[in-house]
Amino acid sequence: MYYPDKHDPNIQYLPVLKFEKSHELAKLPQKNHDTDTGYDVFSVEDKIVPAHGSAVVNVGLKFAYIPEGYWVKVESRSGLGFKHGIMAHPGIIDGGYRGDAGVKLYNNTDVDYEIKAGDRIAQFIIYFNIHMPVEWGTVEETTRGDKGFGSSGR
């Protein structure tokens, strides 16, 4: 990955998401590939996620700084979901939050799932926070109208 000279006045830099290490085994969240959207999050402990149950897994991180205008969402890793039925609680981390980055995992199978220290267990997705006015109004007609779940067919 290319990192330009940080003192070049012609380059505009992105804000930086910062974490405080709260466990000696903690790793910074990281992308596997430059084109990935999510930053993988690693467990710092061995933990069992019981069948049809849940567990909070320590990742050894505290949110130290989320740049103004951004927020972070905790999402599942597709491999854990597809292969093992393990899903992360889809938590929203507001820009002003400063604290623990623990991840809650749900096991949707009939078998306990073993997490090992160093396993990638979830991912953080960074979003831009859009502020828009919210006000009262009346329902405007559309071609869909109030047709809800399943209304567009199979």
For the chain, list the domains and their CATH numbers. Answer: 18-128 (2.70.40.10)
CA distance 7 to 32: 27
Q: Summarize pLDDT for 72-124 with one digit per residue, the tens.
A: 999 999 999 999 999 999 999 999 999 999 899 999 999 999 999 999 999 99
DSSP H/E element including 66: none
Give pLDDT tens digits for 27-61.
Answer: 999 999 989 999 999 999 999 999 999 999 999 99
CA distance 3 to 34: 12
Q: 117, 104, 112, 123: which is closest to 57 by C-alpha?
A: 104
SS3 88: strand
Query: What's the whole-model pTM score?
Result: 0.83
